[in-house]
Amino acid sequence: MKDTSAVIYTDGASRGNPGNSAWAYIILNNGIIETRNSGFCEFATNNQAEYSAVINALSDAQKQGFKDILLYSDSQLIVRQLRGEYKVRDRCLRNLYMKANTIIKKLDSVSFENVPRSNKNISIADRMCNETLDRVQKGDKKPFDSVQKGTKKPFDTDAFKRDEITLRPVGIVKSSYSTPGDAPRQGRLSEQVSEIHIFPEYKDALYTIEKCRQLVVFCWFDRAERTLLRATPPGHDKERGVFSIRSPARPNPIALELVDLVNVNGTILTVRGLDAIDNTPVLDIKPFINLDTIQHTK
């Protein structure tokens, strides 16, 4: 009679976070590998890919007749959410969490453990994910090819490669704000000055910038949460989509900062009104002009 206990190792990977993603899992029974499987899950974050790995692994284990499962993952967030130790605040993850729990309820027992990425079986699953993504990149499987024949694709997937947009910082912020908690909710609410250090290779881009009174600075909030799609703004009691609020947490944490130009010293700009913390990458700078002011807005 087949042992109904199984040990599972899962992993998910996203190139771009979000970007093209893959999942993989290994199912062992009495120390012997029963199943190794991986798949492509299209455009997703790392956390979504990790959940996809768990869902596919548990579903496969259930079909094979396993009832008692110990699942290992290197994602502490996923493990703690599935244990009930963390709340699932991200709406996209909440849907995946519910799918996983639907399968869990059909099994006799399921426990989750967090292991380091260096774990042998996790490393194998990670390699499986990357092999799947490599095959997709070489054209073995095109993203979004699951759309049925005769139906219209949601957008032109050949227009550009969504995981190959590259941004290069042109400078870096030097500020007295060392953590997000130190910074004001909006930079315009503070008289604090900061410096923007432009990299030497972009020195010529600063030519005549001293003629500008105000600048629009585009920063990359590299320490912001990138999986959050809804949040509750300060002073509000209802969630809103991050595209309708100014939350720093968003899929691409690009911050638009309106600042006063105080001084120019070579490649160092002293500005007022910047809420970016120390060592934040700067993507671009543009002058603020009258056309940027829209009248009669609500």
Residues 90 and 197 in one domain: no
Residues 202 and 248 in one domain: yes
**Residue 112 structure tokens:** 């989750």
Q: Quick one: pLDDT at residue 115?
A: 96
Residues 213 and 102 in one domain: no
Residues 116 and 187 in one domain: no
Residues 9 and 127 in one domain: yes
* Residue 281 belongs to domain spanning: 171-292
Coil vs helix vs strand at 60 = helix
d(CA 296, CA 148): 46
Judge whether 208 lies within some domain.
yes
* Mean per-residue pLDDT of the chain: 86
Which of 89, 114, 137 finishes a domain?
Answer: 137
d(CA 193, CA 275): 9
Coil vs helix vs strand at 220 = strand
Q: Quick one: pLDDT at residue 161?
A: 57
How many domains would you assign to the chain?
2
Low-confidence ranges of the chain (pLDDT < 70): 1-2, 140-164, 185, 187-189, 290-298
Judge whether 288 lies within some domain.
yes
Judge whether 165 lies within some domain.
no
CATH number of the domain residue 22 falls in: 3.30.420.10
Q: Quick one: pLDDT at residue 173?
A: 95
Q: Quick one: pLDDT at residue 146?
A: 36
CATH number of the domain residue 221 falls in: 2.40.30.70
Q: Quick one: pLDDT at residue 151?
A: 41
DSSP 8-class letter at 188 = G
Residues 131 and 184 in one domain: no
Q: Quick one: pLDDT at residue 17?
A: 87
Residues 132 and 186 in one domain: no
Which of 83, 111, 137 finishes a domain?
Answer: 137
Best CA proximity match to 115, nearest among 223, 26, 17: 26
Q: Quick one: pLDDT at residue 246?
A: 81
Residues contacting residue 140 through CB under 8 Å, at least 6 positions apart: none
Look at the block and give the residue holding tokens 């509000």: 236
Judge whether 153 lies within some domain.
no
Q: Quick one: pLDDT at residue 144?
A: 37
CB count in 10 Å sphere of residue 118: 8
Best CA proximity match to 82, nearest among 50, 126, 129: 50
CB count in 10 Å sphere of residue 191: 9
Residues 24 and 132 in one domain: yes
Report field, pTM of the whole predicted structure over 0.75: no
Angle between helices 76-83 and 46-63 (to 10 degrees): 60
Judge whether 152 lies within some domain.
no
Judge whether 285 lies within some domain.
yes
Residues 125 and 11 in one domain: yes
